Amino acid sequence: MKIKSVRARVFQWKGKTVPPQGNFCSNAMDLVYSKTESMSTFRFHSWTVVEIETDDGIVGIGNVALAPKIAKAIIDEYLAPLVVGQDPWDYEYLWQRMYRATHAWGRKGVTMAAISAVDLAIWDILGKSVNKPVFKLLGGRTKEKIPCYYSKLYRTDLKEMQDEAQKFLDQGFKAFKMRFGYGPAHLQHGVQENLKSVEAIREVIGYDTDLMLECYMGWNLEYAKRMLPKLAKYEPRWLEEPVIADDIDGYAELNAMNIIPISGGEHEFSLYGFKQLLDKKAVSVVQYDTNRVGGITAAHKINALCEAHSVPVIPHAGQMHNYHLTMSTLASPMAEYFPIFDVEVGNELFWYIFDGEPIAENGFLQLRDDVPGLGLSIKTEYLDQFDIIE
């Protein structure tokens, strides 16, 4: 079997979007003086879909959500010529070709995200070619079903947040992630607002459920050090990305305080990036995203690294490319789950692009044994709501 063609298309949403409400979510731009809306770097309303076809007619699908137009250009210009004509079963060889050919200017960020999309499509082909789901190629079913946590609860009106938490508690979720709306720029008022929001959610979900707290890199080390003791009484399972992704020593310092486990990795790339995080004991929970970190070829190795360090892997964002890895390793106890909503941040967009994503039931996800590959196909229902760039 040989790869015949690689097609990368950008799906740009032109349908209805919900503007972010209230303080919504702290993020790295909050600390920079700016006249533009800080949420603009945080929302993304397009996605790159990669289809790789083999000479025997199998089509594998991959995707990448970071900087979609740039990812497409990297795939078209640099990555496609490296894989066309090659055997997809040589996935490690192909991964190394892509990684090393772009190494001088790639390594992290959008280049690794582009490599991830190609690698995902290759693994989809492998599964389809032997009529098995990808998780069966990675070690198989280690769980009857995958526990997942509800991930939304952006910082809006507290009563609205409480209603949202109640609705999904009633649907059987036993773990929730909420977003902080305030950071260092909001001074002591923001500290109080952040605490009030956690209190409001705990009031609804109680203490029999897990609560995770998301900063999305919108704090700094000094602010995070002040917040940790104040948040401890709410018993969060983790505090996520309190500082920017490059401040690995900052993560390590916060994690060493041993007050709340620190999580991160959603903006880290490759096996080497995670080796650094683990060597420095910077995180207590690893949150790679397979469509950023280097695809399944890289994520499978990171799972092994985390297993050896006894650090759980709970990938960013959920979605099929991550669920297959979560299903096939004991290092991964749980998945993230973005619920189906109108398009807001952009996290929801995959529901509009793909068919085949499992829907959570009672706080669990299931992967089917009888669907080969990653299990996704392109949805036709919303195609007219996208501008598609070839």
Which residues participate in catalysis according to the annotation? 316
Residue 321 binds which entry of Mg ion, ligand LVD5IZTE, none, CB below 5-8 Å type-dependent: none
User: Taking CB under 6 A as the rule, which mask of x and - marks residues 141-170 in contact with ligand LVD5IZTE?
Assistant: ----------x-------------------
Q: Which of 25, 59, 125, 126 binds ligand LVD5IZTE (CB under 6 A)?
A: 25
Nearest to 121 by CA among 325, 389, 377: 377
Spatial separation of the C-alpha atoms in residues 358 and 364, rounded to whole Å: 10
Size of the site for Mg ion (CB under 5 A): 2
Residue 112 binds which entry of ligand LVD5IZTE, Mg ion, none, CB below 5-8 Å type-dependent: none
User: Taking CB under 5 A as the rule, which mask of x and - marks residues 214-253 in contact with Mg ion?
Assistant: --------------------------x-------------
Spatial separation of the C-alpha atoms in residues 66 and 290, rounded to whole Å: 12
CB of 218 to ligand LVD5IZTE, least distance (A): 10
CB of 267 to ligand LVD5IZTE, least distance (A): 9
Size of the site for ligand LVD5IZTE (CB under 6 A): 11
**Helix or strand (DSSP H, E) at 51:** strand 46-54
Q: Which is nearer to Mg ion, 94 or 293 (CB)?
A: 293
DSSP for 138-196? TT---SSSEEEEEE---BS-HHHHHHHHHHHHHTT--EEEEE----GGGHHHHHHHHHH
212-241: contacts with ligand LVD5IZTE (CB under 6 A): 214, 216
Beta bridge partners of 12: 46, 387
Nearest-5° Cα angle at 152, 147 to 157: 140
Residue 173 binds which entry of Mg ion, ligand LVD5IZTE, none, CB below 5-8 Å type-dependent: none
Tokens encoding 126: 């492998």
Q: How far apart are the first and last CA of the chain?
A: 26
Nearest to 225 by CA among 195, 247, 251, 206: 251
Check residue 268 for interaction with ligand LVD5IZTE (CB under 6 A): no
DSSP, collapsed to helix, strand or coil, labels residue 126 as helix
CB of 177 to ligand LVD5IZTE, least distance (A): 7
Residues in touch with ligand LVD5IZTE (CB under 6 A): 25, 151, 179, 214, 216, 266, 316-317, 336, 345, 347
Residues in touch with Mg ion (CB under 5 A): 240, 266
